[in-house]
Amino acid sequence: MNLIIDVGNTLVKFAVFQQDTLIEKKIVKSDEALKTFEKIIKEYRFITKSIVSSVGKLEETVVFAIQEQLNVLVLNKDTNLPFKNLYKTPQTLGVDRIALVSASVQQFPHSNVLIIDAGTCITYDFVNKNNEYLGGAISPGIRLRYTTLNTLTANLPLLDTEMPEGLIGSTTASSIHSGIVLGILKEIDGIIDEYQERYEDLTVILTGGDANFLSKQLKNGIFANSNFLLEGLNYILEFNSH
């Protein structure tokens, strides 16, 4: 069994895999990471190896506890990957994007795949049917856009995310919802259209915290998978275990 640990800026995800099957997933705050790890290890005694992917920072006590009990792979720019990385600055490529691309080459081999991760940022990552990662794009996510309008202007309020009732906002609030949410939907659909014009038989994956909110509104056919990153980390771990 494998333990996947994905460290974000404020939250830590723990996932237990039996081969390619996700058995359990826990999402906790950073200060609950050690207690959660100890509970998982006690419950799943057959876990032997782990991978840690971090865009945030995990406390050293947690790292030491994991390394004492498991064979740990820390994902970084030197990790052996299951695809050819053609990114011109590979040392700056985020571990989250690496994991997403890895999941795509496992689940959709020899395919042109566009992975869209709708989280704090919206990332677009493309891997072609030759198993070559070419790169993509980075854009502000939904909450980042709401927050930016509030913090960088004098009078615009900070609103909760909401699907707009229509294109034309008749109040300041409805105008913000229309501009942000419809703007993102048009952005995503437009980028998918551009890739479809260039690459035949394109497979599109939508993942991330806002995937469910956005997926029902997109006009293009997509696969929505909220666990895609965790599945990619599990595949990297298995890929480096043989």
Residues serving a catalytic function are 96
Distance CA 125, CA 93 (A): 11
What Å distances lie between residue 133 and 74, 128, 139, 147, CA to CA? 21, 7, 19, 32
DSSP assignment of 168-179 equals S-SSHHHHHHII
| CA angle in degrees (0–180, nearest 5) for 123-129-134 | 40
Burial of residue 142, with CB atoms counted within 10 A of its CB: 0-12 exposed, 13-18 middle, 19 or more buried: buried
d(CA 47, CA 27): 18
Burial bucket for residue 196 (CB in 10 Å: 0-12, 13-18, 19+): middle
Long-range contacts of 176-179 (CB under 8 A, 24+ apart): 176/146, 176/149
User: β-pairing, 21-29 with 11-18?
Assistant: antiparallel
The angle, 0 to 180 degrees and rounded to 10, between the axes of the packed helices 183-198 and 142-151 is: 130
- The token duo for 51 is 């991978």
Q: Judge contact between 96 and 187, C-beta under 8 A.
A: no
